[in-house]
Amino acid sequence: MTEMLKISLPDGSVREMPKGATPADVAAAIGPGLAKAAIAARVNGELRDISRAFEGDCELALVTARDEDEALDLARHDFAHILAEAVQALFPGTQITFGPSTEDGFYYDFAPKRPFTEDDLPAIEAKMREIIAADKPLRREVWDRNQLIARWQAEGESFKAEWAAELPEGEEISVYWSGDDWMDMCRGPHLASTGKLDPQAFKLTRVSGAYWRGDQKNAQLSRIYGTGWLNKKQLDAHLTRLEEAAKRDHRRLGNEMDLFHLQQEAHGSVFWHPKGFRVWRELEAYMRRAIDAAGYREVKTPQIMDARQWEQSGHWGKYRENMFVIPDEVPNVDDEGPVISGDADWMALKPMNCPAHVLIFRQGIKSYRDLPLRLYENGCCHRNEPHGALHGLMRVRQFTQDDAHIFCREDQIVDEVRAFCELADRIYKDFGFTYSIKLALRPEKRFGSDEVWDKAETELRTAVAAAGLATPDYGWEELPGEGAFYAPKLEWHLTDAIGRTWQVGTIQSDRVLPERLDATYVGDDGEKHRPVMLHRAIFGSYERFIGILIEHFAGRFPVWLAPVQAVVATIVSDADGYAKAVADKLEAAGLRVETDLRNEKINYKVREHSLAKVPHLLVVGMREAEEGKVAIRTLGQEGQRIMSVEDAIAMLRDEATPPDLRG
C-alpha cells in the first residue's frame, strides 16, 4: 500500500499525496491554472523548488509571480546561473566562482583567461537567450562533499573546490544541473526550467574587477553585472528609472550647480563651496529650530578621544577596523579581550558621538527629576570606509550627524519615542518625502541579555503604534537580525521623486552603553539607577541628506533651500543701474540674490541660470526700468510674468520662508 502524506494548505484544507509527490503535483491536483502559475513552494516555511519531493507531512504554500519579491529573487538567481553557463560556453577555460541575486539584478564572478570587457556583453546576452529558449530543466541533486571536491578539481575549478573543501566533513551539498551538460554548486531554489524566464526581461549592464572572497590579497576576478525582471515591461521601467537617476546624479549636479567637489587629497571628505554650504546652513538652521522647540540641549564634543574610552564602550572590539587611530600602529584586535596595554597612549577619531554624550551626562549628579535629558550635537565623525565603498556624498569618511541622545527613565521611553516619531514625521513631510518605518531586531552578535532585548523591542513597537505609524500605510515591517550590536532600532526609509528608497532616520533603545560606561541617576527612592539611552537622528548625516535632496529635487531646490533664490539679469547694459537697485531691494528683504550684467544675449543667460537651477530669473530692460517692473521667468515653467518689484519681493519672500515658519 502506498504511503500517503498529509499536505496542509494555507486555507486550512489538507490534501493527501503519495510519498514522492512534489509541490508541482499538489498544484496540478488543485487545477491547471495553478499548475501553470506555480513557480516555487514554501514547505514548512522554507522556500524550495516546485519539483522537490516532500519528505513527510508538511505545511505548503505555493509561490506564483504574484509573490513578486520571491519571484524576482528566483528569477535573478536563475539569470546568474544562466550567465555563468553562457560565459563558460563562449569562453572555454573560464573558472566560475559565485553569483548572487541583488536588489535589482544579479552578478557573477569569473576567473577568465583574459579580463572581460563591455564589448563581450552582447555575445553573452545572446547566448543567455539561447539557453533560455532551450527550456533546459533545472534539476537538483545532492552530492557528497568529497565527491564534489574531486569533480571540481578534475574540471580545473579551483575556486569551487576550495569553497567546497571548507564545508563540514560528511556534509551533503546540493548542486543544480542545467539540462545534462552544465552544473553549479548552489543551495537553490531555482525555477523548474530556463524557459520559465522571459528572455527579454534581463540586460547585462557592466563589467568590473573583483577579488576572490572580497579580499584584495586574493586572485583578481572579472565580475559581470546584470539587471533581471519578470517581464520586459518591468525591465523597461527599470531602465527608464536608471536614465532618470543618471540625470539626477548628485555628483554631476553638484558640479553644475557649483555646490561641492571631492578630490584625492582628501579622499572620502567633501569640499563645500559657498553655494553648497548655504544649503547646509539652511538645513542646520531648520534643524536647530526643530530641536530647540522639542526641548533638546545642543552640545559639542571632542573629535579625538582616548582609545580606552572606545574599548570600554565596546566600539573598539566591534568597530575597530572602521576607526582612524592615532598613531596608526595598534595591537592585534579580537572581538572580546582587552587590546590596549596599560602604558599605551592610543587615540581615535570618533566614529560616533554616543560615548561622548554619556560623559557629559555623567558630569554632576543627575536626579530622576532631570530626565528626560535630550542632548543634541551636529557631530562631525570619521569612519574608515573601504575605498571602493565611497560614493559622492552618499558614502564618505568624514560626515556630520544631526545626532542626539535622550537619557530617560524606563517609564518615559514610550512617550519619548512617540514624540520622536511625530517630530520625524513633520520634518520629512516638510521636505516632501513619504516614508516607511522598519523595526530592526536583535543581531546574532550583540551585547545584552535576551530579556533586555525583549523589553527594548516591545517598547519601540508600542511607541510606533501610539504614534499611529505601525500601519500598512507607513510600510511597517520588522527586520530580524538587522539591529545594532547594542540596541534594536526603528528605521525611516524615505521614498524619493522617482520611487527609490533611502534609509535615513533612526532611533535606538539602548540599555547596554549606559551600563558599560556607568551612567546613573538618583531615583525617587534615593538609589542609583541606569538611564535608558535613546540614540536618534533624522537627517542621518548632512552630507548624505543633501545628496538625497539634490537627487530628489533634481537640483531644483525649493526656494527656501536654494543657494541663490533669484538672479536679476539685464537685457541691455543701459538697465544695469536698475538691475542693481532691484537686487539691493531683494537683498534688503532677506533674499539671496545675484545680478547678471554680462554683455550676453538674454537667451544665453536664461539657459545658464536654468542649468544652475536658480528658481527665479528676474529679467529687466529699459521698459521694466521705466515702469518699475520685472519680468519673472520661473524654473520649469513656460513664459514669464510681469509684476512690480514690490509684488515680486512679496512673492519671493513667501516662497523663501522655510516651511516650519509659515503661518
pLDDT tens digit string along 97-146? 999 999 889 999 999 999 999 999 999 999 999 999 999 999 999 999 99
Query: Do 107 and 190 share a domain, yes or no?
Result: yes
Average pLDDT rounded to a whole number, residues 379-396: 89
pLDDT digits (tens, 9 = 90+) for 641-660: 999 999 999 999 999 999 99
Residue 530 bears catalytic tag: no
For the chain, the domain total comes to: 5
Q: What is the pLDDT of residue 318?
A: 67
Q: Does residue 37 sit in the same domain as residue 95?
A: no
Q: Which domain holds residue 139?
A: 69-242
Give tens-digit pLDDT for 145-171: 999 999 999 999 999 999 999 888 877
Catalytic, 429? Answer no
Tell me which amino acid residue 220 is.
Answer: Q
Task: Identify whether residues 27 and 129 lie together within a single domain.
Answer: no
For residues 136-160, one letter each, b for 16 or more C-beta atoms within 10 angstroms of the residue's C-beta and e for the rest, the string is bbbbbeebebeebbebbeeeebebb
Residue 646 CA neighbour count, 13 Å, CB half: 2
pLDDT(478) > 50: yes
Q: Which of 331-335, 465-469, 587-591 has the highest mean pLDDT?
A: 587-591
Mean pLDDT over the full length of the chain: 92
Find the catalytic residue in 309, 401, 412, 508. 401
Residue 337's pLDDT is 46
Q: Are residues 521 and 544 in the same domain?
A: yes
- pLDDT for the residue numbered 331: 52
User: Of the residues 78, 318, 354, 629, which is catalytic?
Assistant: 354
Q: What is the pLDDT of residues 50-101, one digit of tens each?
A: 999 999 999 999 999 999 989 999 999 999 999 999 999 999 999 999 999 9
273-302 mean pLDDT:
97
Distance CA 357, CA 361 (A): 6
Collapsing DSSP to helix, strand or coil, 377 comes out as strand
Tell me whether residue 99 is in a domain.
yes
In a domain, 453, yes or no: yes
pTM over cut 0.95: no
Report d(CA 176, CA 195) in Å as an integer: 16
* Residue 496 is a catalytic residue: no
Asked if pLDDT for residue 284 goes beyond 60, the answer is yes
Active-site residue among 42, 76, 320, 405? 405
Model pLDDT, residue 338: 45
Hey, which bits of 171-278 come out as E strands?
A: 172-178, 182-185, 202-211, 220-228, 260-261, 271-272
Per-residue pLDDT at 376 exceeds 60:
yes
Does the pLDDT of residue 512 top 90, yes or no? Answer: no
Nearest CA among 260, 223, 257 for reference residue 96: 223
Check residue 320 and give left, alpha or beta (phi > 0: left; psi -120 to 50: alpha).
alpha
Same domain for 175 and 213, yes or no, is yes
Quote the CA–CA distance of 128 and 45 in Å, as a whole number: 32
pLDDT for res 152:
94
Choice among 81, 127, 535, 613 that is catalytic: 535
Q: Percent of the chain at pLDDT above 90? A: 79
Residues 308-312 have a mean pLDDT of: 80
At 452 the pLDDT is: 86
Q: What is the pLDDT of residue 332?
A: 53
User: CB-based contacts of 114: which residues, under 8 Å, 6+ apart?
Assistant: none
Residues 292 and 325 grouped into a single domain? no
Residue 336 above 60 pLDDT? no
Out of 49, 78, 184, 403, the active site residue is 403
pLDDT of residue 210: 92
Catalytic residue among 81, 203, 250, 489: 489
Same domain, 53 and 128: no
DSSP secondary-structure letter at 269?
S
Instruction: Tell me the mean pLDDT in the region 452-481.
Output: 89
Which residue of the set 48, 320, 383, 461 is catalytic? 383
Is 247 a domain residue?
no
Domain boundary (529, 552, 575) is at: 552
Catalytic residue check, 196 = no
Q: Can 77 be counted among the known catalytic residues?
A: no
Active site residue 405: yes
Mean pLDDT for the stretch of residues 551-570: 97
Closest CA to 140 of 246, 249, 16, 22: 22
Do 395 and 412 sit in the same domain of this protein?
Answer: yes
**257 is a domain residue:** no
Q: 265-288 burial string, b = 16+ CB within 10 Å, else e? A: eeebebebbebbbbbbebbbebbe
Give the model's pLDDT for residue 342.
Answer: 44
- Is residue 535 part of the annotated active site? The answer reads yes
Same domain for 576 and 457: no
d(CA 112, CA 91): 8
Claim to verify: residue 406 and residue 545 sit in the same structural domain: yes
Q: Any bridge partners for residue 479, and if so which?
A: 440
Query: How crowded is residue 262: how many other Cβ atoms within 10 Å of its Cβ?
Result: 18
Select from 125, 83, 75, 126 the least CA-distant residue to 101. Answer: 75
Residue 250 lies in a domain: no
